[in-house]
Amino acid sequence: MTDLSPLDHVTREVFREGMAHLPGAVNIVTTDGPGGRAGLTASAVCSVTDEPPTLLVCVNRGSSAGGAFLENTSVCVNTVGPRHQDLAMLFGGRTPMQERFDRAAWTTGPSGAPILSESVVSFDCRVSHRHEVGTHTVLFCDVLDVVVATGEPVSVYYARAFHAVSL
Ligand SMILES: Cc1cc2nc3c(=O)[nH]c(=O)nc-3n(C[C@H](O)[C@H](O)[C@H](O)COP(=O)(O)O)c2cc1C
């Protein structure tokens, strides 16, 4: 394979500015297990394949939730709408874990990870394997259950702000 390096002008800042123009869903991703209950807001969530149903989630290992995602196998991807915008900011950092979870209602499914009540959609998952890339770990997640709230408006993160999208 040819060794291609980024062009000189592609700094971390240039990459981040580019990513600010790539719209994405806002997800509160949670876990529970031996590593403790934890969660963070993540836009780096993607479908891998529907056979078997698989998602990937990219988690910063240096975040306060990172350790729990490495130790636990349960993961729930909760996609949020305007009603959970403030909650997404709390899970976006600098807030103690207990306080993040105290601000919303949760249930649990087969994996044991917290499922956010009234999310737009929740994917309850078990981690099948992990792959490290730079600061982040990519979690490959087998989907165990899917809960959809039909008609709920969804939030899209674009240009560093939330935008509501309705059907
Ligand atoms: C809209 C948005 C999207 C984010 N996407 C990701 C992501 O995909 N992966 C990630 O590890 N962190 C992501 N973050 C950052 C984490 O939510 C946050 O840095 C994390 O909770 C670390 O903060 P803490 O160490 O104070 O807990 C995102 C934050 C926001 C506000």
What pLDDT tens digit does each residue of the chain (167 aa) get?
677 888 889 999 999 999 999 999 999 999 999 999 999 999 999 999 999 999 999 999 999 999 999 999 999 999 999 999 999 999 999 999 999 999 999 999 999 999 999 999 999 999 999 999 999 999 999 999 999 998 999 999 999 999 999 98
Q: Are 140 and 107 in contact (CB under 8 A)?
A: no
Q: Are 30 and 80 in contact (CB under 8 A)?
A: no
- 3 alpha carbon – ligand 1 mean position (Å): 31
What pLDDT shows up at residue 121? 98
- 13 CB burial (10 A radius; 0-12, 13-18, 19+): exposed
- 80 alpha carbon – ligand 1 mean position (Å): 14
What is the side-by-side order of every strand in the sheet holding 24-25? Answer: 24-25, 154-158, 161-165
Taking the whole predicted model, whether its pTM rises above 0.85 is answered as: yes
User: Which residues contact ligand 1 via a Cβ below 6 A?
Assistant: 26, 40-44, 58-60, 63-65, 91-94, 157
Best residue for ligand 1 mutational test, from 63, 86, 136 (most atoms within 8 Å of Cβ): 63
DSSP E strands in the chain: the ranges are: 24-25, 27-31, 38-42, 45-50, 53-60, 74-79, 106-108, 114-116, 121-133, 136-148, 154-158, 161-165
- 40 alpha carbon – ligand 1 mean position (Å): 6
